[in-house]
Amino acid sequence: MTIAMTSTPNVATLKETPILCYYTNRTGKVQVVRISNIPNWYFERVVFPGQRLIFEAYEQGQLEVYSGAMASAVLADSIGCDRLQITPIEEQA
């Protein structure tokens, strides 16, 4: 049996600078979002219904979205931070 191991980068060894990201809670429930796959780096926020969140993260980060009651929050989605990146206007032209 072979087990595939994926390496998660350590924030101390990351060479790139964080990217600017954007997330909107489009549900009617309070959500907790966090990035936990990068060791020695912590990001967790509460996002209310309709709230927009702009944050910095590393491209390899995975934004985990938890929804439901606080005592029984369930992982609803996991989104790569590279997919949430905001592209500056001058780069769009």
Among residues 90, 14, 29, 93, which one has the least CA distance to residue 59?
A: 14
Domain boundaries, the chain: 24-92
- Stronger pLDDT, 69 or 8, i.e. the higher one: 69
- Stronger pLDDT, 51 or 14, i.e. the higher one: 51
SS3 67: strand
Residue that the structure tokens 């009617």 belong to = 28
Mean pLDDT, residues 63-80 = 88
pLDDT digits (tens, 9 = 90+) for 19-63: 999 999 999 999 999 999 999 989 999 999 999 999 999 999 999
pTM: 0.76
**pLDDT at res. 55:** 96
Could you tell me the pLDDT band of residue 71, with boundaries at 50, 70 and 90? confident
**pLDDT at res. 3:** 44
